[in-house]
Amino acid sequence: MQIRINLDVMMARRKISLGELAGRVGITQANLSILKTEKARAVRFSTLEAICQELDCQPGDILEFVPNEKNDNK
């Protein structure tokens, strides 16, 4: 996976649980868990916006691009 999700890090920093964040953002806990465990294939801008709003952070604090080894070798 080239995009790493640092949602758990931000949640720990803000001391907020998955259930509480899901309730505030307005998505189900199951869907937020899919995002947290990097199983999601796409994120809506509206979801990202709501998460950033609640965690008081930038999208870059949650999403991180990690180049894989193959690309590094090229």
Nearer to other proteins, 34 or 52 (CB): 34
Neighbours of 18 (CB within 10 A): 16
Neighbours of 32 (CB within 10 A): 21
Answer for which of 10, 11, 21, 35 binds other proteins (CB under 8 A) is 35
Euclidean distance between CA atoms 4 and 66, whole angstroms:
7
- Number of chain residues interacting with other proteins (CB under 8 A): 12
Answer for which of 32, 54, 55, 62 binds other proteins (CB under 8 A) is 32
Shortest gap between Cβ of 74 and other proteins (angstroms)?
28
Nearer to other proteins, 26 or 72 (CB): 26
The 3-state DSSP class for residue 43 equals coil
